[in-house]
Amino acid sequence: MPLTMAIPGETVIIRRITGKDEVRQHLAELGFTVDSMVTVISQLAGNVILQVKDSRIALDKTMANRIFI
């Protein structure tokens, strides 16, 4: 299921990332890699704030829909 379906406060494992090579590379540079753990901090209208390693990152709905958990 896409990352936008995760519940705030839940820690999930990334299983797949879709999109063009440039998009996947950009997400990898932000810390979104397959088999890594992220925690959903908050969610509003599909946009999410995530805890990735030691950073908090905000993703819009279209980017979050490319990350599957």
At position 62, the amino acid (one-letter code) is: T
- pTM of the entire predicted model: 0.89
CATH of the domain at 60: 2.30.30.90
Structural domains of the chain, count = 1
Tens of each residue's pLDDT in the chain, 69 residues? 999 999 999 999 999 999 999 999 999 999 999 999 999 999 998 899 999 989 999 999 999 999 999
Query: On the CB side of 61, how many CA atoms lie within 13 Å of its CA?
Result: 4
- Rounded Cα gap, residues 23 and 11, in angstroms: 23
pLDDT tens track for 44-61: 988 999 999 899 999 999
**What is the domain extent for residue 25?**
3-68
- DSSP class of 19: S
